[in-house]
Amino acid sequence: MAVQLNHTILNASDNRASARFLVELLGLPDPVEYGPFQVVQLSNEISLDVIRADGPITPQHYAFLVGEDEFDEIFGRIKDRGLTYWADPFHRQPGRINEWHGGRGVYFDDPDGHALEVMTRPYDIGA
């Protein structure tokens, strides 16, 4: 079997609220409770297992590859909620999206400051 990422743990101050935020914005099925986790299942058999952290949250970056239609839907939900968004990971281009690698992308933060990215084309690394 090839090496594949199966899941990763996302720390949150409120794991239920963070999981709900993710599924609502990304248009995913409701999270499933599994022990202390709220499991957000992605369409490529990878899950984000959201757990409540008792201390400070160290922000991480999570990037989601989506189709053009899904991007439009997600970006619409970002704007409908009045979330701040950026075209870049350094938050230097507010209120804009990018058109890198022949696709579109946008960055926004979750309630705990995790940097979320939605993009329609993967990066051309090594190309």
Interval 2-21: pLDDT, tens = 999 999 999 999 999 999 99
Asked if 62 and 48 count as a contact pair (C-beta separation under 8 A), the reply is: yes
pTM assigned to the model: 0.93
Note the pLDDT of residue 127: 57
Ramachandran angles phi, psi of 32, nearest 5°: -115, 135
- Determine the residue type at 32: V
Q: What is the mean pLDDT of the chain?
A: 96
State how far the Cα of 100 lies from the Cα of 121, in Å rounded to an integer. 8
Mean pLDDT of 66-91: 97
Structure token digits, residue 31? 């999270």
State how far the Cα of 85 lies from the Cα of 83, in Å rounded to an integer. 6
Interval 44-73: pLDDT, tens = 999 999 999 999 999 999 999 999 999 999
Q: How confident is the model at residue 107 (pLDDT cuts 50, 70, 90)?
A: very high
Structure token digits, residue 59? 């922000």
State how far the Cα of 107 lies from the Cα of 112, in Å rounded to an integer. 14
